[in-house]
Amino acid sequence: MDLFESSNRRFQPLAERLRPETLADYVGQSHILGPDSVLAKAIAAGQLHSMIFWGPPGVGKTTLARLLAHEVDAEFVSLSAVMSGVKEIRQVVDSAKMRQQQGRQTILFVDEVHRFNKSQQDAFLPHVEAGTIVFVGATTENPSFELNKALLSRARVYRLTAHTDEDLRQLLNRACQQDDELASKQLSFSEQALASLIAWADGDARRLLTMLEVIADAGEQHIDSDNLLRLLPDRQALFDKHGDAFYEQISALHKAVRGSSPDGALYWFCRMLAGGCDPFYIARRLIRMASEDIGNADPRALTIAMDAWQAQERLGSPEGELSLAQAVLYLASAPKSNAVYKAFNEMKRIVAEHGGEPVPNHLCNAPTALMKEQGIGLDYRYAHDEPDAYAAGEVYLPERLQDLEVYQPVSRGLERKIADKLNYLKELDRQSSVKRYD
């Protein structure tokens, strides 16, 4: 390394200075780099295929792409979907064609490929098919939604996962020992401070190394929990509010509520708040859960969810969040039923399938003398005038759908009593001599 390169490295971020130079030094993603993996076999054969790296920030997507090019001795060319367009793609392809004539492969790495529109993504297709370039795209978003099918069909998707705590410890130790700038600081951490730092990184190596730089620049050698909190008072959000991680966490919260896990539900609720999620978004989702997963097994769940939303509106944060926590715990603990959800979806399907069935004559109102003369509303039975306020044998559906029984209460919570009541009424119908549609 010459003097100019050494001086230049001093001004690079720690994450850039620590970028591994060989695949052997790469940390994490053993599930796609194991010796029997498809990718490992492609590397060994020196024949890479086009691929998409899908995963959260800071898990090594760019680094892995660079190392793959190094392993197969290919030219590595990088484009950013934020800064580039079709013009830049054509320039890269022209250069790749010249290298191909010289017997050298080109790996085109496109960061944040989901930001390219459909026509820009289509610009890669003929060159991927011709083998002019090996396309490697990186995205934090679900490729199924963000990339067009034509590009997806020509590339293998590899899902990169967040770094484990052990991965992050390894990276931190490597940084403190191998980076000259950092090694000179002689940093040490208490076990609790180290555990907190790794937890705050939340699987993101770049975030960990950025926080480590902040700590090193402060000039303190031994870091315990107290000065760690002082040095890093404003930790970064734990998820992108518009990214996959956001929806994964709300999905985890919903499934914990559905699965009757109060601790699990409360954990994901607090994780989302810590990540900067709008409490009103969570409030809306809790109302949905109250109807979808609890329904009439405990109708109070919907009332409690609505009350929690109002408390958040009136008190704001952080006071209102306690009411949301109360609702989360109640919903998770409540008896579960999706009978309302299933009946609603089934009836919507039936309505769409059968179209506009006419209202049965006996259920129509007859506000005018002419309508009464025509028999509209004739034979309507006023339920309150019947025994038990129930007109046994009466039908409230169109004739073609008279036998529908879409709502099926479960044998949990209040719905057990509802089921008993409906079964009792069905028996009255069975015994009744009234037959509406003969």
- Classify domain 29-159 by CATH number: 3.40.50.300
Instruction: Tell me the Cα Rg of the chain.
Output: 32
Q: Are 362 and 399 in contact (CB under 8 A)?
A: no
**Cis previous bond, 318, omega within 30:** yes
Residues in a beta bridge with 189: 223
Q: How far apart are the two ends of the chain, measured CA to CA in Å? A: 96
Query: Which one, of 336, 251, 247, 260, lies nearest residue 297 by Cα?
Result: 336
pLDDT at 222 (0 to 100):
86
Common-topology check for domains 165-231 and 244-333: no
DSSP 357: P
pLDDT at 125 (0 to 100):
83
Helix residue spans in 11-60 (DSSP H): 14-17, 30-33, 38-45
406/206 Cα distance (integer angstroms): 53
110/135 Cα distance (integer angstroms): 8
CATH topology of domain 165-231: Helicase, Ruva Protein; domain 3 (1.10.8)
194/3 Cα distance (integer angstroms): 35
Q: Are 422 and 366 in contact (CB under 8 A)?
A: no
pLDDT at 175 (0 to 100):
87
pLDDT at 6 (0 to 100):
47
Query: Which one, of 133, 192, 201, 151, lies nearest residue 172 by Cα?
Result: 201
Q: Report helix, strand and coil shares of the chain as percent, to nearest 5.
A: 60, 5, 35
> Reduced to 3 states, what is the DSSP secondary structure of residue 137?
strand
> Reduced to 3 states, what is the DSSP secondary structure of residue 295?
helix
* pLDDT in single tens digits along all 438 residues of the chain: 444 444 455 667 888 888 888 888 898 888 988 888 888 888 888 888 889 999 888 899 999 999 998 888 888 888 877 666 667 778 878 888 888 888 888 888 988 888 887 777 877 888 888 888 888 999 988 888 888 888 888 889 999 988 998 999 999 988 888 887 888 888 888 888 888 888 888 888 988 988 888 888 887 888 888 888 888 876 654 455 555 667 788 999 999 999 999 999 999 999 888 877 889 999 999 999 999 999 999 999 999 999 999 999 999 888 899 999 999 999 999 999 999 999 999 999 988 888 778 888 888 887 787 777 777 878 888 889 888 898 888 888 888 888 888 999 999 999 999 999 999 999 998 888 877 776
pLDDT at 202 (0 to 100):
81
pLDDT at 310 (0 to 100):
95
Residue range 358-431 in CATH 1.10.150: no
DSSP 412: S
pLDDT at 432 (0 to 100):
86
Question: Structural domain boundaries of the chain?
Answer: 29-159, 165-231, 244-333, 358-431
Query: Which one, of 32, 251, 20, 21, lies nearest residue 160 by Cα?
Result: 32
pLDDT at 8 (0 to 100):
53
Q: Are 203 and 55 in contact (CB under 8 A)?
A: no
For the domain made up of 244-333, the CATH class stated in words is mainly alpha
pLDDT at 252 (0 to 100):
93
Q: What is the residue type of 25? A: D
